[in-house]
Amino acid sequence: MKQHVKMTTLLNNGQKIPLIGLGTYPLKGNSAETIVYEALKKGYRLIDTAAMYENEEEVGRAIRRAISEGVPREEMTVVTKIWKTDMGFSKTLRAFAKSYEALKLDMIDVVLIHWPDVAREKNIATWKALEEIYYSGKVRAIGVSNFSPEQLIDLLKMADIKPVLNQYSCYPGQSQEQLRVFCEKENIRSMAYSPIHQGGILSDQDIQQLAEKYQKTPAQIALRWNIQRGVIPIPKTASSNRLEENFAVFDFELTDKEMALLLAKG
């Protein structure tokens, strides 16, 4: 697995980010710490957490443990998020301070707004707080999650710093192609949570046929599809075997026709 550590792409600020990562919701306690540590030892370098997941402390411990055993911190991208109830300028600053203390890392690589608020003004105020945090030197990049093109347009009008990421649910059957294309045009990288729809796509006949053709699992087909679209999938698992399976998606490539077939699912 470790041969794929260098499989990265660039964010719009020049920061490298791996092409696949590990999502950690709803893992908590020892299971969260164990799987994050194991993932890092197996070659994963992108770890996604959030204040709402209530596992930042465990994720931080796993990261520090892996670092102490020789996993290079500079290869890692650690993502966390500001939850809905913590939005607004002052509340965002306080929420980030809590996340920073929980993770106990000198630097957090990316901080996202977890969900947009219905009030445009609150989104802007939250973003301005993230910009201040960025200027403080405690984060390398800032972005958003679950933002629509319209919400991104509003944000971009007022932002001094462009978001590097928009994280949203994306899998065959919910391609979010319009959003992906918009983000690509704006040089905002898309990241997909639930990239196998919590297993919901695994019984799809077309995906199963492709899995048979490439001697891969249906989950690997779905992950590869997102990667080829320029979308970074962050599948969650608590299984060591699934960690390896999800990572083994760089030794085959779907054809344009096969990509279109899966895109047509919606």
Report, as residue numbers or ranges, the catalytic residues.
53
Q: Which residues pair with 191 in a beta bridge?
A: 167, 232
Which tokens sit at 171?
């899998």
Q: CA distances (Å), 30 to each of 18, 66, 125, 172, in order?
A: 25, 15, 36, 32
Q: Is 77 helix (H, G, I), strand (E, B) or coil?
A: strand
Nearest Cα to Cα of residue 76 among 31, 139, 166, 16:
16
Q: Which residue, 49, 37, 45, is CA-closest to 236?
A: 49
Q: How many CB atoms lie within 10 A of CB 202?
A: 16
d(CA 151, CA 163): 12
Contact by Cβ (8 Å): 151, 182: no
CA 114, 71, 133, 164: dihedral to nearest 10 degrees? -60
C-alpha–C-alpha distance, residues 247 and 256, integer Å:
22
Report the alpha-carbon distance of residue 34 to residue 60 in Å, rounded. Answer: 11
The count of other CB atoms within 10 Å of the CB of residue 89 is 15
